[in-house]
């Protein structure tokens, strides 16, 4: 007879890009001194009482935020074992996958032969082909795209091939078809982590990206967390870009989101529709709207808005629930660093269950985890699946 899991339901929130200090190998990535949470807390006092009560300020020193003597969650931080500092690398490692080498990046744009083959297969010329912020590239090339119909191809510090087109110029189905072509083309040494459709609307000076973004990820290796959960028929519900990151594998049950607040609403709704299994959410605003745009104040406000949502969300949990809050990498928006790229950082780890609130005086310090795979291994351990290839469970410490 199979055992009842300690927590019949695990809710897992990834705060995209919310790092908590440079990793020891940050010099290899030109990231020495970068600290997303540290520099945001330094910019002004943050009002995030719920995160502080859970133990966020116990993980590492954060200016204007005092550690609590009675953290309500198990707390710690985790390093990324795999090379790289992008969304796919971080999320794959959480699911138990270590990469031998980082996904390729293109600081000088894609090779001419790649662009030429892409243009041939889609039947259109392209413009751009350089690293850029998604909003800045629209300011620079949006009007030319409207005039010529040429799709805007660009990348970033991540391993991404992004295609931006105006919805009135290129039908959304055609944009998605272009991305499928690019995904097949970008293989071998040019196997980027993600091809991303970036549709937009509006007029010059007033362009806006629409919610019909779609990511085309590389197929993850076997086995990963979703595979071992599926083997045991453990329900999995993805929220936000979780479905795209894992290429939809065992994530037929998913909900897309348009913002952090929408993500938290969908997470709250899932409490009544998904009474057991894993509910896995990514909140992308920290990364997409504030980190890459170097908007320190916007990032600070977004953290405070998440904290307010969390304050309403925690009382809805039952003693049968485990909530895990973490991140996939950093994206320090501090203007002292000119880059808009992700940063090679530790990520915070908070693991909360209402059953422990009454005994919150117990210090559940998870310490420094050496791999994000510890998170997935903890989920696998809870549901008594086959163990993942990497990671050590911290379930007993929760």
Binned at pLDDT 50, 70 and 90, residue 1 comes out as: very low
Residue 286: DSSP 8-state: I
Q: How large is the average pLDDT for residues 172-186?
A: 97
DSSP for 76-125 reads EEE---SS--SHHHHHHHHTT---SSPPP--TT---HHHHHHHHHHHTS-
CB 164 within 8 A of CB 201: no
* Nearest one of 243, 200, 196, 197 to 220, comparing CA atoms: 243
CB 249 within 8 A of CB 222: no
Distance (Å, whole) CA 163 – CA 77: 35
Q: What is the pLDDT of residue 2?
A: 63
Q: How large is the average pLDDT for residues 322-327?
A: 98
Backbone angles phi, psi at 53, to 5 degrees: -60, -35
- Pinpoint the residues of the chain covered by CATH 3.40.720.10: 9-101+218-397
Q: What is the pLDDT of residue 346?
A: 98
State both tokens at 251: 């994530």
Distance (Å, whole) CA 341 – CA 133: 9
Q: What is the pLDDT of residue 359?
A: 59
- Mapped onto helix, strand or coil, the DSSP state of residue 138 is helix
CB 159 within 8 A of CB 135: no
241-277: pLDDT as tens digits: 999 999 999 999 999 999 999 999 999 999 999 999 9
Q: What is the pLDDT of residue 368?
A: 98
Distance (Å, whole) CA 154 – CA 73: 41
340-397: pLDDT as tens digits: 889 999 999 999 999 877 655 567 899 999 999 999 999 999 999 999 999 999 999 9
State pTM to two decimals. 0.92
Distance (Å, whole) CA 315 – CA 240: 23
CB 333 within 8 A of CB 294: yes
Question: Does the pLDDT at position 31 exceed 60?
Answer: yes
Backbone angles phi, psi at 80, to 5 degrees: -100, 125
State both tokens at 37: 């949470």
- Pinpoint the residues of the chain covered by CATH 3.30.70.1250: 112-217
Binned at pLDDT 50, 70 and 90, residue 211 comes out as: confident
Q: How large is the average pLDDT for residues 308-332?
A: 98
Q: How large is the average pLDDT for residues 219-234?
A: 97
Q: What is the pLDDT of residue 358?
A: 60
Distance (Å, whole) CA 283 – CA 180: 25
Distance (Å, whole) CA 170 – CA 175: 7
DSSP for 288-332 reads IIIITTT-HHHHHHHHHHHHHHHHHHGGG--TTEEEEEE-S-B--
Q: Which CATH class is domain 9-101+218-397?
A: alpha beta
Other beta carbons within 10 angstroms of residue 208's beta carbon come to: 10
11-27: pLDDT as tens digits: 999 999 999 999 999 99
The domain made up of 112-217 has a fold known as Alpha-Beta Plaits (3.30.70)
State both tokens at 71: 């953290």
Strand 277-283 to 254-255 pairing: unpaired
Binned at pLDDT 50, 70 and 90, residue 339 comes out as: confident
146-178: pLDDT as tens digits: 999 999 999 988 899 999 999 999 999 999 999
Looking at the DSSP assignment, which residues form a beta bridge with residue 12? 280, 324
Q: What distance, in Å, lies between the first and last C-alpha atoms of the chain? A: 25
């Amino acid at each position: 007879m199979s055992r009842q899991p300690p927590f019949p339901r695990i809710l897992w929130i990834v705060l995209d890009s919310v790092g908590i200090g440079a990793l020891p190998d940050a010099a290899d990535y030109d990231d020495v001194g970068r600290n997303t949470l540290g520099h945001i807390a330094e910019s002004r006092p943050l009002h995030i009482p719920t995160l502080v009560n859970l133990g966020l300020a116990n993980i590492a020193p954060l200016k204007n935020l005092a550690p609590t003597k009675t953290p309500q969650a198990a707390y710690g931080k985790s390093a990324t074992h795999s090379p790289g500092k992008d969304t796919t690398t971080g999320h794959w490692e959480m699911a138990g996958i270590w990469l031998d080498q980082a996904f390729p990046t293109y600081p000088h744009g894609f090779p001419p032969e790649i662009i030429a083959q892409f243009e041939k297969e889609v039947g259109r010329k392209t413009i751009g082909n350089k690293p850029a912020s998604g909003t800045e590239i629209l300011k620079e090339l949006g009007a030319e795209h409207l005039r010529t119909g040429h799709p805007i191809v660009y990348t970033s510090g991540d391993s991404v091939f992004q295609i931006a087109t105006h919805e009135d110029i290129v039908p959304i189905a055609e944009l998605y078809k272009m991305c499928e072509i690019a995904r097949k083309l970008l293989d071998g040494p040019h196997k980027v982590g993600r091809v991303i459709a970036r549709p937009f609307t509006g007029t010059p000076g007033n362009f806006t990206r629409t919610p019909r973004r779609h990511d085309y990820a590389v197929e993850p290796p076997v086995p990963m967390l979703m595979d071992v959960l599926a083997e045991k028929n453990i329900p999995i519900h993805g929220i936000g870009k979780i479905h795209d990151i894992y290429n939809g594998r065992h994530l037929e049950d998913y909900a897309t989101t348009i913002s952090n607040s929408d993500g938290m609403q969908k997470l709250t709704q899932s409490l009544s529709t998904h009474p057991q299994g894993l509910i896995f959410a990514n909140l992308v605003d920290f990364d997409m709207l504030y980190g890459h745009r170097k908007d320190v104040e916007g990032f600070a406000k977004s953290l405070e808005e998440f904290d307010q949502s969390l304050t309403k969300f925690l009382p809805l949990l039952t003693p049968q629930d485990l909530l895990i809050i973490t991140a996939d990498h950093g994206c320090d928006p501090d203007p002292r660093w000119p880059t808009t790229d992700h940063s090679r950082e530790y990520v915070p780890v908070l693991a909360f269950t209402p059953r422990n609130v009454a005994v919150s005086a117990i210090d559940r310090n998870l310490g420094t985890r050496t791999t994000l795979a510890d998170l997935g291994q903890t989920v696998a351990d809870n549901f008594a699946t086959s163990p993942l290839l990497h990671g050590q469970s911290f379930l007993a410490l929760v």
